[in-house]
Each structure stands twice: as structure tokens, then as C-alpha cells.
Structure 1
Amino acid sequence: MLPRRRNAARIAGVLVASAVVSGGIFAASTAAQADEQIPVTVPTFAADDFIELAAQLPATLRAAIERDLGVAPEQYLANAERARAASDAATVLRDRGVGVLGVSIDGQDVTINVESESDASTVEASGARVVVGPMDSLRTEREVQPARDHKGGYGYAYQISEPDETGAFDLSRCSVGFSGYDPDGDSRFLTAGHCGVDETGTQYTYPVHHIELDAPIWATEEWAAEFPGEDLGEFVPGTFTYGNEHDGGLVDVTGADWESVPQVAGWGGGAGAPDDASVTIRGPITAVAGAQACKSGATSGWTCGEVLVPAQSTAVGEQNVTGFIFNACMLGGDSGGSIVVGNYALGVNSGSTHDGRTDCDSWVPAQSPDTGDADFSIGYSLATGEYNALNLLGNQWELAVAVSTPVVTSPEDGGETGPRPTFTGTVEAARSTHKVQVVIDGEHTYEGDVTDEGTFSVPVTDELVPGEHTYEVTASYGNFSRSEVAEGSFTSTEQQVEQLTVASPSEGQTTGNARPSFTGTGQPGATVTLSVGDTVYGEATVGDDGSWTIAPSADLPVGERFDAAVTQSFEGDTQSVTVAGLGITAPAVTIDEPADGSTVEGDVVFSGTAYPGASLTLAIEGTITEASERVQAAADEWAGDLEIGEDGTWTFTPDEALKDGEYTLTATASVEGGDPELTSSEASVSFTVAAGSDDDELPDTGSSNLWMLVVGVALLAAGGVAIAIRARRGGSTA
């Protein structure tokens, strides 16, 4: 763990024995009932769609991508988007309770590892390959050495000892990870935890200084001759953690000449100046096996490779760090520097098998988790898994993200609108983690979310006075990352809009049709939308005669009362009508066997259907044909098997055949917690048992000519089951 140090009076420098990287993504999803959830999918991305964006990458980074990864820059960006989509999908699946063990990618081919077969069936619709069982773990005998080495990737240096009698002192240096903010919005960057502590784990308190470079440092120690150089900032007390699976720390940028930006130094693939065509950070990403990742550091600049293992605890020096394993070259002094997948922040440099080398010429990248003698690096993740920078430091730091200026498509700049316009448009490279704010005339503020496709729709809910109005639209990420302001103006006009009405269905109406048509009248040309809660079930355009009809695109909620909202939108005017207390009745219980009025043998098997999720009760009574003398006897136990299908079909097989006679079977179904008017149903059939033999008769119940069998079970919605049903026959004195 000890860095190689030289006395500063002898123009000495320190290259820590290894480097560390990490990054991540956060996503949120509201869990829903399985039958209401939208399937999670992982879209593919074509390289041709990223040609223009690839041309904006630093020329030297493009060279590093082609050199180290063997792919074109546009394919690299397409693969990065696929990795991001896979990462997001895994997060959503985990939020829904699916046991996702890891995600891997090979170009555009995604594999999701899950805990069980039931998890696999949930993931199958994603379009990814599904494997039950854990991912491969790192297998190696190589030793990983910790490296003690502002845009991300910059180098910084600091004093690590008091001067001796000659005035000499020891130095160390590391690299900047990602720019960000403290809780007050002031500049603060993420770096590696091992950069800021001594051998005992005590945090350094010396100031931090920027290292002025025109190229990566590689083997030279000339940087030390310029120490201390420009003031940059100071270690944030109590934030540096090295060990216990973490390797992260924070540095406040307090130097008056510095302003942090959401970029990573360009470096030129290991040979250029740090500010040449820097890389813009658009957001975070979690580690996905097979994702193509590039790292930036003050020692070796840009190098690229692939993620081999998304998260694993690994010894870095004398401490264990949980991070992702990847195979890009990382040298001493790169520690704390940035690791990216495309324009997304993955993590900071933590450690590697560099063995003290000062160039990447002899680096042999491992090609699989079973590394053998090949080289690999470790990145401390921004957000992957349990041990990551956001879990460790998220209450003290927020990632700085570049947010594109919104493009407003409506209202048209300089055009006319109704009194309540809806602002629509796009924000390039934004996702659902972003928001949009609209300010009218500098006074009235309205906010809305951005979709994962980068679109937004923000309605103005107040009626504007007729006349000209100005607007300012800003996109944001988190609390402090903001876009430039999109400005414009429009004229609000008075307008008479026909009133929205709903003719059918009426309030409180019930029906057995799960997709009943909604009809009514409104403003010709307006858009009418049908929704229940947050779910949209369809829309229509009001015809020239003022009428509209919406046929729901999916089944409305069955078995419970609900309110349906019909909304009309027309040139900024919005009206809404709520039809309250609607109900869709659950399909009624049926008895298919025996048929009503039929004659069957005593070993009849009862069958029918019920609404999945309902409770089912079967009751049977009848008059037994018996010539022998009837003797009062204790009630005997009656047993049988109930089998229930996933679709609600049921069968009941008595263990003993029925005696000859006439019977009535009644089946009753209900849903616990449901509206009885919508969920309760009953069906009965009468039948005759004939040709039964004495060998399979039930024991005599005595002189009564009436007996009852009652069967009650929960009809499970998921999977077929076999349940032992037991009931008793009752008797009375003749």
C-alpha cells in the first residue's frame, strides 16, 4: 500500500502502486401487480444512428476506441446505449422483486442472470437471453497494488508529511474522478478513497493542488518540481474511506480560478493535452459485463477495455474493495480518475495489476474472469450493487451532468395558442431522470418530467389573459445540473370551445364487458383521452359532427369500482369529465360436468370454471335410492381432490363414488375484498346417479333421505394445484 516516495527537495514524486475507478446509474420504478405491469424490454441500437455523435468525440479518444476495442466509435456509442438500457432494465426488474444476479453484454447481445426459474419467466419478455444462476467471478492469483496518485481525469497533488530538518517533505498524486456538487451546490469532485489516507487509515488534511500538464505524465516526475502549483481545494473531512469494500472520497474545489464542469479530460488516447476535445458526462450507468469502458487518468490518459465482472470484492493492497473488474490499462497515479461507458459515468479508478510499470506497452488485457497471468483493473462503482460511491457519499455529493437545451416544438415561437397551451419538445440525451421547467412571463412556473425517449409535455394549468406572453424553458438533472434557457414568445387568444360530455357509460353503471365503449360529444378536432388512474386506455379525435367514441385498448379493472376520466385537449384548452363508480363484473362461476338434467355414474368428476383469484365453494345435496333398512349412524368423512388451472378451470374428484340417487350441485364464487355485486356468482345443476355398485358406495348414513357435502377452497390465481377436500354427510331421523 505504501507509495513510492522521494524527498520533495530532490524533485521527487509519488506514483501509488495502483489505480481505482467506479460509476453507476440509479433508476426507480413503482412495483405493481404482475398482471398490471408493462413488460421490461431492452431495445437494440444501430451504429448508424450514432455517426454524428461519434464525430463529436475527441479524435484521440476515437483512436483509443479503435485501437483498444477494435470497433468504430459509432458502434462503441451504440453499444454504450445498449448497456445503459440493460442496466436500466435490471434496476426496474429488481424494484419489482425479480432476483437479478447480474447483467452482461457482448456487443448488442444482452444476458440477464437471475436467481430462479420463476424469475426467468418474468425476464423472458425483455428480449435478453436469460440464465438461471450467478455470473462468473474473478479467478486470479495476481496481486493488485493500490495507486496513490479537475474536469475528470486531471491530476492533483498534495503533501503527505511535515517538512524535515532540511525543509523536504513527501508528496503524492492521484486523478480526479467526476465533477459534482455539495449539498449547497458548490463544486466538489469524487476520487478514490485510498488517495486521501495514510497507512493507518488517517485522512490527510493538507491542501490539494492542480497539476498543470500538456500530456499524460507516464514515467516522468517533472510535475513534482512545480509543486505546489495552483491551489485547487481540500479533502472533505471524514469522506475518505479505503477498505470495508469501499474506495471513495470527496475533494472541495475552493480555488478561485476553478469552476467544475461535467466533463472528462480528453488526453488524446495517451498522448494529447487534457483539454483537447473533452468528453461530456450525460448521466450515470451501472456496470454491465461486456460493456465497453474507457478510463481517463493523469498517468496514462485514455485507455479502453471491457467489463469482465460487474461487482466483486477484491483485495486492493491490504484492503478489500468491491468494484467492477475490467481490462483497460491503469497505472500508478491514475487512481481516482474517471471511467466512462460512452457519455455515462461508470466509476473511479481503484486498482490494477500494473506491477509498478510506467507505460501500457506491456499490458496484456484479460479476456475473461478467469484471468490467469493477464492484466486487469478494478473500478469503484458510482452506483452498482451495495458498495458504491452514491451509497457511501450520496448525502454529501451529487454527480454533475451536462443537460442539453430544450427544443420547444409547441407552442411555436411567435405563434398563437389558446388560453392554456401545453409546452412540448425534446431534450437531447435526457431520460426519465430529468425534469423540465416552464416559466411564463417570468412569474408563473410549471414543471414536468422527461420521458426515456427525451420528450416532454408540460401543460399550463392557469388560463392566460389574451395577448403576448414570453416563456423560458429549462431542463434539469438532480438539484444543480441545469441546461441553458430556451426562450420565446407566443400570443394567447380567446376561444370558445365546445363543452365535453360523456353520454355512455353513466355513473355507477356495471357491465360484464371488460372493454365497454365510451361515447359523448365535444369540440370538433379535439383529442379525447380515456384513463383510469395513471393508465391511459385509449384516445380519439372528435369528429366534425362533435361526436366521439373510444374503445378501450385493454381490459378495464374487473371486480372493483373505479372512476374513469375523459379528458379533452384542444389548442391549449383542457376539459375533464369523471364517470364515477363504474364496475366490470367478474366472469360468473360455471359447472360444466355434470350437465344439468344428465344421468351419470357414481364416479363422476365435477368440473367448471371460476374467475382467477376467487374463492370457490361447492355444495351438494340429494335423495339417495336405497332399498335396505336405514340406520342412524355418525357422519362419515368424505374426501376428494380439487385441481385448479391457471385460467380458473377446476375439477373435483371424490375419493369414493356417489350412491345412486338424485342430486343438486351448487358452486359459489367470490373475491375477498372485492365488490360482491361485481365478484359474487352462483351456478347449480341437477343430475341423477345411476348404475352405481355396492362396492363403491359411501357408507350408509341412516334413515335420512337428505345429505350435504360442502367443499370450500381458495381458487389460486397462479398455477395448477391439487388440494385434498374433506367434507361430512349429515343425517336426521326419518
Structure 2
Amino acid sequence: MLVASAVVSGGVFASSTAAQADEQIPVTVPSFAADDFIELAAQLPATLREAIERDLGVAPEQYLANAERARAASDAATVLRDQGVEVLGASIDGQDVTINVASEADAAAVEASGARVVVGPLDALNSEREVQPARDHKGGYGYAYQISEPDETGAFDLSRCSVGFSGYDPDGNSRFLTAGHCGVSEETGEQFTYPVHHIELDGPIWATEDWAAQFPGPDLGEFVPGSFHYGEEHDGGLVDITDPEWTAVPQVAGWGGGAGAPDDASVTIRGPIDAVAGAQACKSGATSGWTCGEILVPVQSTPVGEQAVTGFIFNACMLGGDSGGSVVVGNYAVGVNSGSTHDGRTDCDSWNPAQSPDTGDADFSIGYSLATGQYNALTLLGSDWELAVAISTPVVTSPEDGGETGPRPTFTGTVEAARSTHKVSLVIDGEQTYEGTVTDDGAFSVAVTEDLAPGEHTYEITASYGHFSRSAPAEGTFTSTEVQAEELTVSSPSDGQTTGNARPSFTGTGQPGATVTLTVGDEVLGEATVGDDGSWTITPSADLPVGERFDATVMQEFEGDSQAVTVADLGITVPPVTITEPEDGATVAGDVVFGGTVYPGATLTLAIEGTVTESSERVQTAADEWPGELEIAEDGTWTFTPDEALENGEYTLTASAAVEGGDPELTASETSVSFTVASEGDDDGDELPDTGSSNVWMIVVGVALLALGGVAIAIRARRNGTTA
């Protein structure tokens, strides 16, 4: 029977899919309720449920929920490390997760995760107990091999170990992971080159040596040259399955949940997982079968025999000959058996499991990690070995089998227990292949990117992990129809239309449900979905080009059908020039300071004409300079202060603006105000006192920002960062 554990809700969530390099994406570690796993727990073999309850003291549904929580904690730690957070480890107590980090700065990135954050490392194991190598094909099987040349009597020495996890070599051939010390001579340190044989078992070996009498037994394979590493913190090696009678599968022998037949209650492997302190882990091995415990320390260097091995420390019983066997958390591979404090014992009856890193005289085991920390099997052997993973057949939710679609359908559905490390592949009519993605909750999506011919088509969707693990295909048929989308129209704006609004709304009609995009030049400035009533509206996300003519393109996409409408020769007018001082019709003193606004970067020209009260002479601008100071701020606010006050009279001031190189229709503007100059103390109708001024001034009182005057004002304007 296969054991399947499903992800009830997503694993690790991020608030943004495109964070800046110097930003941290908030990570969330979801929790899992045991009630959501009751149905799956009921599918576990009775003997396996008994082992969980016996060794862990929890209900099987809680065990599966805790396994998913451990997986989520592992994923969170991986995401945080990818973001640059120095994660020192993770631990779990039931559903309570703690993430240990190196600094307060790292802690800030973890605060929103829902996990407890601790600055500093996890507790290390504190024990003086000696750890002995558990020396001695679905994972957990036993295998045996010759370790010496025959003597004069023909006798030779034997050894045995256990299989870790099934996998593949770079060419997709069967190859399994085991402990490194299993394939290395104690005396010489040389790697063994003798063939490997399967041990046929009806139950765990325990203390019996009957297996040796059956040697060599069925052929299995051979040690992969150069792959066995024992010491310098590693304990991993590879064995090729060369006998064609064997087919490796992504399962671990369950030994009936304890000490039964190896194939009774086998566990399906869904992928790798980091070691998480507090995670409930079960090990499989040919000597002691299936035992369960808890991970006490996720990463620690520990003497194993005469060598140092870095791995996780857990408290499940492990005996000699279990070495190389599988350690799982739920349906996830966490590592292989390396060693334990078995002291040569041949059963688990006297095993006294340590309950915390401060072990005293209690027993514990070492697992060489598949993926945790600096020293692990995937890092050591990754280019030579790939874990075999069981993948559920995809369930297609859209399109319906036998249903109709447009010429470019998107297939969606779920793959049970799959994560973002998986992929899906869609094959249409046995020829065209399209790749899709999977999310951490197992949802997949794969789009057909080319128009399919109208008519019936077949499809196959396969989920995969790595290069070689594949699901059975989901198969079906569908009918592709030609799309006859409603015509795309743009009702506003119209060709040649101008407006002073730099972000005018574009409106029109189209095919309900279609996607409409607005593009100016190479920039997409908006997107909308056509409503059920066929209408759409797009407001540009940025200002349209101001002061120049341009074309805007509206594109409609619907199930492979594309339509485009171009609105030509649009124009956005620049803000017109204004005069704010004096106001139209105002009476001012002769030393008035003129002011207003102009479009930044525009050329400003001021002109004045009027009649002087005393002489009734008409004056207007000429090509003479109007002495004074023009200032234009960066926001276009301008002021002009004449060097000489105006004589009493009636005047009209005209301000003109233009942008060099711009469309005059869009950039040129002009405005005027009329005003009266009257000095203080003057009464209407009374003669003004003789000020000593001559009529010559009235001839030149006008101002023109023409040739000479324009140069003088432009010089001042540049000094203020603006052109006038």
C-alpha cells in the first residue's frame, strides 16, 4: 500500500513576486490542522498507524499535519536563506515553529512569518556517549557484499547495510543513495569494488546471521567508483542497480510499521526536506525495521566511529546494519542512517531515547542529511545522483474533457502533493509540447501559445520532478473552435483630438471578457477587461506625450484572436501662459511687479501698449529693450520687475508662450489683462503735479521682448534655470 500525504494549504507565501534586491519578501509559515488529515491518516496501514502512536505518542492525522508544518518550516528557511537571511536552523514542537537566525537584522526579516524568532544557534547535543557506525533496495532494504579476498579455505568476510533512497544517475539509470562508510574499508580506507547483492527478508534481521548463509543471494548492482565518502563531515555513497530484474521505485520499506515484512506499509517519497528540530521522523533499516522518533538537533558535527560526520541528531532506534537506510518525515526524504549509540545491541527493547539535546546517558542516532546545511548528500553527490520522487497524476479542471475551447486554451488543474519544484508538460496531438508551472499548493497552469486548427484534439499532461521523475499522464480530448470576437472600437478620443489632460480616459467597446491594452510607442500604459456589457475604459498609468502629436494603439486579445485600433494624431496641450498680477481691470501703482505662470521650458514674451493720461499719447512696444528683471522658477512661476515705474494711464499687458520645436497648436498660448496706473494721492479728473518727467519717456515706455530685449531677459532666465 502506498502512503500519500497531501498539502492542505500552501507552503511558503511571499507578498510580492518581484522584490528589489535590497528588500526582504515577507515569508509566512502556514499551520496545518490534524482534522484536515483524518481521511489520509485512515488510508495508512494499520501497522504504520500503530508505530506512530507507539513511538511518537500522537494520532496518525496529527503526525501527517506535523510533517506538513515541518515541510513548510523547511521551505521558509530556504526562502529566507535565498534572500540573504542567515538562518541557523529551524525547530518545531507540534505546530509551533521557531526559526533561529544570526542577528537582530536577520530577525526583522522573519518577524512576519508567524514563526517564533530566536537570535543565536539551536542547542547542540550534549553527550559523552560513543557513536558506532551502524555497519552492517526500495529504501530500507538490506544489501550484502564481500569485503575481503577468499583465504586458503575459500572463506571471506561479509558486510551488510541498508538502502537509503532510490534515484537516478545522470543518464536516468537506477542508482540508490546509502551511507558512505558502508563502502569503505576500515583498515585501508579504500573503496570496495565487490558486487552488491540483495538480502531477501521476511522481517528485520535483528540478531540473526541467517542472511550470511544465503549469500550471495540475488544480484543487485555495484558500488559507484569514487562516490563513497566517509569522514570530513560526510557519510554518503551511491550504488548502481545493474541487474535488469530490479526496478527502483520512490518508496521506503515500512516493515509493517515496525517489525513486519519490508514491503508491508511502504511509504511513498514526495520530495526532499530539510531537517527541522522537533520534526517527527521515522527510519527504515534492515536490522531493526521501522522505528520513529524526533529530530533533536538539525545540524551538528559528531564523531561516528573514527570519523566526524555532520548531520541531524534524532532519537529513533538504529542498530548495526541499519546504516544507509532511509529517514523520512511524513512522505519527505530527510536523510540516511549514519550511526547511533547502539553499543552493539541487537534489539530496540533497551533503547532509551534522548528527549532533548542534553542527553545524559540516553540513546540517540545520527542521520546524514539529504539537503540540510553545508554538508549533505545533494551537495556532495548532486551531479551524480537525483532523488526519485513519486508524482500523482495531474487532475485537469479546465478545459472539460470533450469540451470546446478557443484556439489557444489554457489548461489548469492540480497535482496532489506537488510543489513549485515540480513542472507540468502538455502535449497536443502527440506533437506540440508546452511547459507550465506548479505552485506550492499543487495548482498548475500551462498555456497553448499558438493557434490550434479548428476541430478535435487530444492532450496529455504529465507532472515531473527533476530530470527523470514523471507522473502517469492525464489524457483527454477537446474541440478547438474559431474565435469570432466582437469588433473592437474606440469611441474616445478620436483622431486628431487635443486635450489639456495628460491622462485622458480611453473608452470603447469589444468582446466581453477580452483583455484590452493601451500602447503609445513601445510603452504599455494600461490594461482592462471588457465588461459583460461589452464596454471598456483605460486611464493611462503615466502622462501621455505633451506638446507633440502621437498615435495610440488599443489592442484586444481574446482566445487567440487579436484586434488593434490606432487613434492617430492625438495631442496634449501644454498649460497656457497666465497673468496673475495685475488682475484684469485692476488699478495699480506705477511700480507694479508683473507675475503669472508659464509651461516650464517655454519661451515667454511680454508686450505692453496703452495711453498715458497726461499727454493722451498712445504708447506700445517697439524693438527696444524693456529694462527690468525677469525671473522664472522651475515650476513655471514668473515675475517681471521693470527698472522704471509706469506713468499714470491705461495699459494692456500681453504674455505669449511657445515651446521650441513643439507643435504650435499644442504649445503656443497668449493672454492679456487691462489695467490702470494711478499714483497715490491722485483724484479722478485732477491734474497730476509736474514730476519733472519729459514726454520722451512715454514714447519708449512700452516693452518688447524682441531681439535685444529678448536677449537680456533670456540671460536672466537662464540664470534662474528657465528660458523666457
Q: TM-score, normalised by structure 1?
A: 0.69
2:352 aligns with 364
1:410 aligns with 398
Greater mean alpha carbon deviation, residues 230-239 or residues 214-223: 214-223
Cα shift at 1:60 = 1.7
Structure-1 separation of matches of 2:122 and 2:489: 57
Residues 422, 458 of structure 1: 8 Å contact kept? yes
Instruction: Flag the 1:259–1:194 CA change in 2: closer, same or farther, 3 A.
Output: same
Residues 246-273 of structure 1, C-alpha deviation per residue, up to 9 Å, x if partnerless?
Answer: 0000000011210000000120133211
1:124 partner SS: helix
Structure-1 separation of matches of 2:208 and 2:383: 38
2:377 to 377, 383, 389: 389
1:378-457 correspondence runs (5 A) = 378-457=366-445
Cα shift at 1:30 = 8.7
1:697 aligns with none
Residues 488, 511 of structure 2: 8 Å contact kept? yes
Residues 30, 96 of structure 1: 8 Å contact kept? no
Residues 32, 96 of structure 1: 8 Å contact kept? no
Structure-1 separation of matches of 2:424 and 2:39: 25
Structure-1 separation of matches of 2:351 and 2:80: 37
Residues 416, 493 of structure 1: 8 Å contact kept? yes
1:95 aligns with 82
2:40 aligns with 53
Cα shift at 1:80 = 0.7
Cα shift at 1:58 = 2.9
1:305 to 271, 293, 313: 293
Instruction: Flag the 1:195–1:70 CA change in 2: closer, same or farther, 3 A.
Output: same
Q: Which amino acid aligns with 1:60?
A: T
Residues 19-58 of structure 1, C-alpha deviation per residue, up to 9 Å, x if partnerless?
Answer: xxxxxx9999998326865411101111121122222323
Structure-2 separation of matches of 1:484 and 1:98: 39
Structure-2 separation of matches of 1:315 and 1:197: 17
Residues 132, 340 of structure 2: 8 Å contact kept? yes
2:183 aligns with 196
Instruction: Flag the 1:248–1:519 CA change in 2: closer, same or farther, 3 A.
Output: farther
Indicate the percent of aligned positions where both proteins have the same amino acid: 85
1:478 aligns with 466
1:202 partner SS: coil
Cα shift at 1:540 = 6.2
Two-structure CA RMSD over aligned residues (Å): 3.4
Q: Which amino acid aligns with 1:149?
A: D
Matched, 1:492 2:475: no
Q: Which amino acid aligns with 2:122?
A: M
1:336 aligns with 324
Cα shift at 1:495 = 1.6
1:43 aligns with 30
Q: Which amino acid aligns with 1:297?
A: G
Instruction: Flag the 1:485–1:332 CA change in 2: closer, same or farther, 3 A.
Output: same
Structure-2 separation of matches of 1:375 and 1:556: 67
Matched, 1:162 2:149: yes
1:138 aligns with 125
Unaligned runs of 5+ in 2: 1-10, 495-500, 544-551, 568-630, 636-724
Cα shift at 1:120 = 1.0
1:686-705 correspondence runs (5 A) = none
Residues 521, 546 of structure 1: 8 Å contact kept? yes
Cα shift at 1:209 = 0.3
Instruction: Flag the 1:274–1:571 CA change in 2: closer, same or farther, 3 A.
Output: same
Q: Which amino acid aligns with 1:284?
A: P
2:139 aligns with 152
Residues 257, 265 of structure 2: 8 Å contact kept? no
Cα shift at 1:520 = 6.2
1:162 partner SS: coil
Residues 649-707 of structure 1, C-alpha deviation per residue, up to 9 Å, x if partnerless?
Answer: xxxxxxxxxxxxxxx9x999xxxxxxxxxxxxxxxxxxxxxxxxxxxxxxxxxxxxxxx
1:229-628 correspondence runs (5 A) = 229-498=217-486, 521-526=509-514, 541-548=529-536, 570-571=558-559
Structure-2 separation of matches of 1:125 and 1:304: 33
Residues 327, 333 of structure 2: 8 Å contact kept? yes
Instruction: Flag the 1:147–1:421 CA change in 2: closer, same or farther, 3 A.
Output: same
1:126 aligns with 113
Residues 255, 289 of structure 2: 8 Å contact kept? yes
Cα shift at 1:491 = 0.7
1:721 aligns with none
Matched, 1:65 2:52: yes
1:608 aligns with none
Residues 614-648 of structure 1, C-alpha deviation per residue, up to 9 Å, x if partnerless?
Answer: xxxxxxxxxxxxxxxxxxxxxxxxxxxxxxxxxxx
Instruction: Flag the 1:169–1:107 CA change in 2: closer, same or farther, 3 A.
Output: same
Residues 99, 117 of structure 2: 8 Å contact kept? yes
Cα shift at 1:578 = 13
Residues 454-481 of structure 1, C-alpha deviation per residue, up to 9 Å, x if partnerless?
Answer: 1111110110111111111111000000
Q: Which amino acid aligns with 1:482?
A: R
1:268 partner SS: helix
Structure-2 separation of matches of 1:138 and 1:368: 8
2:411 partner SS: strand
Instruction: Flag the 1:78–1:472 CA change in 2: closer, same or farther, 3 A.
Output: same
1:447 partner SS: strand
Greater mean alpha carbon deviation, residues 253-262 or residues 30-39: 30-39
Residues 166, 176 of structure 2: 8 Å contact kept? yes
Q: Which amino acid aligns with 2:165?
A: F
Cα shift at 1:519 = 6.6
Q: Which amino acid aligns with 2:55?
A: D
Residues 57, 279 of structure 1: 8 Å contact kept? no
2:256 partner SS: coil
Instruction: Flag the 1:156–1:523 CA change in 2: closer, same or farther, 3 A.
Output: same
Residues 12, 72 of structure 2: 8 Å contact kept? no
Structure-2 separation of matches of 1:578 and 1:163: 88
1:89 partner SS: helix
Cα shift at 1:527 = 5.8
Cα shift at 1:550 = 7.4
Residues 24, 109 of structure 2: 8 Å contact kept? no
Q: TM-score, normalised by structure 2?
A: 0.70
Structure-2 separation of matches of 1:118 and 1:576: 51
Q: Which amino acid aligns with 1:153?
A: G
Instruction: Flag the 1:169–1:488 CA change in 2: closer, same or farther, 3 A.
Output: same
2:342 partner SS: coil
Structure-2 separation of matches of 1:274 and 1:516: 73
Q: Which amino acid aligns with 1:236?
A: V
Residues 285, 325 of structure 2: 8 Å contact kept? yes
Residues 256, 263 of structure 2: 8 Å contact kept? no
Instruction: Flag the 1:496–1:61 CA change in 2: closer, same or farther, 3 A.
Output: same
Instruction: Flag the 1:173–1:528 CA change in 2: closer, same or farther, 3 A.
Output: farther
Instruction: Flag the 1:303–1:578 CA change in 2: closer, same or farther, 3 A.
Output: farther
